[in-house]
Amino acid sequence: MGPSELGQSDSSEPSEITRDEFERAKIAFYPFVSEFQLGLNPEDVDEIVYAVLHHARSTRSPEQIDAAVRDQIAEHIAGIERMHAAWARSIAERPWVLRRQDDNGNRYVVSRHLTRAEADAAASEFDARGHKQLYWVEEDRREQG
């Protein structure tokens, strides 16, 4: 269970967290994140805030709370890993790369495309803007796998 289940009640818990409570708790938590320079992304903050609010009212034992939070963390990490894997597959499945060279000779990847035609069309759009940068399309030569 995590922040995406806000408003869904677990019969073993006294009451559900409202969206308003959740948003207020996040507002209270963010100064700590900032002040202590905690490297947390918004999704991590959501998970932490949800766990604290959810278990603050819990009737579970400390051991049960610990186990539930560890399960929540594992589920969150698994979701991140699935997202990273999908992102990596998306990049691998887009073998045509639109690149740009700026006025100082620095080169960048602008975008990746499924077909040469898509990449060429994107390059044409950038060229039509009239900037001094050089745009070109090439096949991605990175090792796959």
Exposed e or buried b per residue across 122-141, where buried means at least 16 C-beta atoms within 10 angstroms of its C-beta: bbeebeeeeeeeebebeeee
Q: What is the pLDDT of residues 37-66, one digit of tens each?
A: 999 989 999 999 999 999 998 999 999 999
Q: Other C-beta atoms within 10 Å of 114: how many?
A: 12
What is the average per-residue pLDDT within 9-16?
60
Q: What are the strands of the beta sheet with 134-139, ordered from one edge?
A: 107-113, 96-101, 134-139
The beta strand positions in 9-95, using DSSP E, are none
Residue 94 burial by Cβ neighbours in a 10 Å radius (0-12, 13-18, 19+): middle
Question: Is the separation of the CB atoms in 50 and 83 below 8 Å?
Answer: no
Residue-level pLDDT at 104: 80
- Name the least confident of 8-12, 83-87, 90-94, 130-134: 8-12
- Where do we find the tokens 């745009």? 135
* Dihedral sign of CA atoms 81, 17, 69, 26 in order: positive
How much is the pTM?
0.57
